[in-house]
Amino acid sequence: MKKQFKSKTITQLKKAQGMLKKVISMVEEDQYCMDLLQQNLATIGLLKGANKMILENHLNACFKTGMKSANSKRQQVLIKELLHVINKA
């Protein structure tokens, strides 16, 4: 992973980690459900952002390199992997 992407991704994931800890704390303290939902959705948003960064890096590095190769089996594996991840998203 490129240094720039790695740094941004780690920052995003650490923010999500902090927010998730807050959500857990809020649940333990029986805080208002709508506040919990909003905080949880914000955490999910950060995780989605990190996921997007990881995918972007993969497409610009691993995927691009693999698709340039003459190995059609490798290309098919890369395409299947990408479709698998997209279906989970």
At 68, which CATH number?
A: 1.20.58.1000
Choice among 1-5, 17-21, 75-79 with the minimum mean pLDDT: 1-5
Measured CA to CA, the distance from residue 66 to residue 40 in angstroms comes to: 37
**Count: domains in the chain:** 1
For 84, the domain range is 3-88
pLDDT tens digit string along 25-72?
Answer: 999 999 999 999 999 999 999 999 999 999 999 999 999 999 999 999
Q: Which two tokens stand for residue 67?
A: 């698709």
CB burial string 58-88: b at 16+ within 10 A, e below: beeeebeebeeeeeeeeeeebeeeeeeeeee
pTM for the full predicted model: 0.83
50 three-class SS: helix
For residue 20, give the amino acid letter: L
- The residue among 86, 7, 6, 19 whose CA lies nearest residue 46 is 19
